[in-house]
């Protein structure tokens, strides 16, 4: 897969944070962004903690969904003139209490070329983004899958 230029990555990052106020509210940060991977961090903030002292499930969901959205915009941003990216469904599993900063590592499960070929054929492609949630020391605390579609504009 072709990599994203540094300039493209900065445009996606700034555009994403401008377009998603809730991600800004939580303070999510980009660590890495390419055409097939996005890595984001949710800094530890006691205002976002739950009753057991870790990040609230909703904050972790938002982090993971944000990473999935960033990879979708990064991979398919050049298609926005003809299709709207929409999350279709999401499933998250919380496996272990996360303490401290949380990292979301999102990866496309299909190639960009496959998805665009379906769009070119007049279809409404669906594709999954798989996200691993972990603490900064590498402890996996959860996993999420978000199914996205590119809905053709009429």
**pLDDT of 10:** 87
102 in a domain, yes or no? yes
**pLDDT of 128:** 98
**pLDDT of 2:** 62
Q: Which two tokens stand for residue 69?
A: 């959205």
Q: Which two tokens stand for residue 75?
A: 């991979």
CATH code, domain carrying 94? 3.10.129.10
1 in a domain, yes or no? no
Is the Cβ–Cβ distance between 40 and 66 less than 8 Å?
yes
| Range list of β-strands (E), 60-125 | 83-94, 102-108
Dist. CA 117–CA 42, nearest whole Å: 34
Residue in 101, 119, 24, 113 with CA at minimum distance from that of residue 70: 24
**pTM for this structure?**
0.92
Kind plus residue range of the DSSP H or E element containing 58: helix 57-76
**pLDDT of 29:** 95
Dist. CA 63–CA 50, nearest whole Å: 15
What tens digit of pLDDT does each residue of 104-145 get? Answer: 999 999 999 999 999 999 999 999 999 999 999 999 999 999
**pLDDT of 35:** 85
Is the Cβ–Cβ distance between 60 and 98 less than 8 Å?
yes
pLDDT beneath 50, residues of the chain: none
Domains: count for the chain: 1
16 in a domain, yes or no? yes
Domain membership of residue 136 as a residue range: 6-152
Residue 93 β-bridge partners: 143
């Amino acid at each position: 897969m072709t990599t994203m230029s540094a300039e493209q990555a900065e445009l996606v990052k700034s555009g994403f944070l401008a377009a998603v106020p809730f991600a800004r509210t939580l303070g999510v940060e980009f660590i890495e962004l390419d055409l097939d991977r996005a890595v984001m961090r949710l800094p530890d903030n006691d205002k976002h903690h739950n009753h057991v002292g870790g990040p609230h499930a909703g904050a972790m969901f938002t982090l993971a969904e944000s990473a999935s959205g960033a990879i979708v915009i990064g991979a398919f941003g050049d298609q926005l003139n003809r299709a709207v990216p929409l999350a279709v469904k999401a499933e998250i599993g919380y496996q272990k209490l996360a303490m401290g900063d949380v990292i979301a590592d999102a990866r496309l499960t299909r190639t960009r070329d496959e998805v665009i070929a379906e769009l070119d054929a007049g279809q409404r492609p669906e594709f999954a983004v798989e996200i691993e949630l972990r603490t900064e020391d590498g402890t996996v605390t959860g996993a999420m899958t978000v199914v996205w579609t590119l809905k053709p504009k009429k």
